[in-house]
Structure formats: structure tokens, C-alpha cells
Amino acid sequence: MTWLPEAAPGETPLDRVFGLTPAAYARFRALYASLWDPTVIDPAVLELCRLRIAMLLGAEGERRVRCSAARAAGCTEAQVSALAGWPESPLFTDVQRLCLGFAEQYVLDPHGFRDEDFTELRVHLDAPAIATLTLAVAVFDALARFRLALDVDPVADRPEVVSGPHPDAASLP
């Protein structure tokens, strides 16, 4: 539970904290939803990157959230369970592995990127997909840090599939 002594109205802990700045929160929700466009990048890839980033940063609450858009795109609980060992696991496609490697490098040491990393990305993804992947990884990094620093955990104590993300959602888990 957050250490802030005030709360905004809202359904979820994130609503009640981020909602203290309602205009910024509304635009954050719009940004978040804009990332999950299946015509640009596979939502299952984004979901795996989001959960891996949460794992790397120790954001346990974020790790319990499952997005229905990613489930619909084929992201499985078996993959989620295998995320810690993604480089060796047979459960991930080449593109998923490439994007997970990108997300890890981005969060932990962006100075470690080499030109060849982007050359390989370009083999599998077009420029809109790489740009969106980068935006998404950045937003996931930011949200995980925000949750951790202000103690904003989703209330579920086990993995929970939530509907969305939706462009007009008034709430985020």
C-alpha cells in the first residue's frame, strides 16, 4: 500500500495514486493503450517484455498482471513461467527472444547496445515495430519504477488477466 497520505477516487491502487494528477494520468493511460496495436507489433511480444522488465526491477505486483490482448495474441502462462530462462527455453520464438534481449539491454545497460543489435532487429522487425517496441519498453520501465517507488501494487495476490489495454479505459490495474 502506498505511503502517500492522500488518495484520488478510483477502482485500482494505481488509479488512486496516479489519479492525484488526473490530466497526466489520463494521458498516461492513452499512451499505454497506444502501444498495443497488433498491426504494428505482436502484443504477446510486448507482454513478455513487460513481464521481464518487471522481473528485472523487482516489481512483483506488475508481474501478476496479465493483459487480455496478449493472451488473445497467444502469450501463454507457460511462457511467462519460463521468462527467467528465456535464452535457452524452447517456448519462445526467435522474434520473442530478440525482443526480450532488447528489453533487457535497454533497462540494464543501454550503453551496451551495438550497431549489430539493431541490424538484427531490422531483419525481423520493420521500423514502426522497432520504434513502438522501444516506446513500450521505456513506458514499462517507467511504470515499474513508479509502482515500486510509491508502493503501488495491483491488489491481486496471484496472476490475474485484466481486460485490455483499451484506448478509452478509465483505469489501469
The residue ranges that bind other proteins (CB under 8 A) are 3-6, 17-18, 20-21, 23-24, 27-28, 30-31, 34-35, 37, 40, 57-59, 105-107, 110-111, 113, 115, 117-118, 127-128, 130-132, 134-139, 141-146, 148-150
- The residue among 48 and 104 lying less far from other proteins, judged by its C-beta, is 104
**Cell 496479465 belongs to which residue?**
66
Of 25, 70, 29, give the one whose Cα is nearest residue 169: 29
Closer Cβ to other proteins, 36 or 79, answer by number? 36
DSSP letter for 66, please.
E
Cell 484506448 -> residue: 167
As a whole number of angstroms, the distance between CA 32 and CA 27 comes to 8
Min dist CB 156 to other proteins, Å, is 19
Q: How far is the CB of 76 from other proteins (least distance, A)?
A: 26
Residue 35 or 162 with smaller CB distance to other proteins: 35
CB of 158 to other proteins, least distance (A): 20
Residue 115 CB neighbours (<10 A):
7
Instruction: Report, in Å, the least distance between residue 133 CB and other proteins.
Output: 9
Cα torsion through 27, 165, 86, 137, rounded to 10:
-10
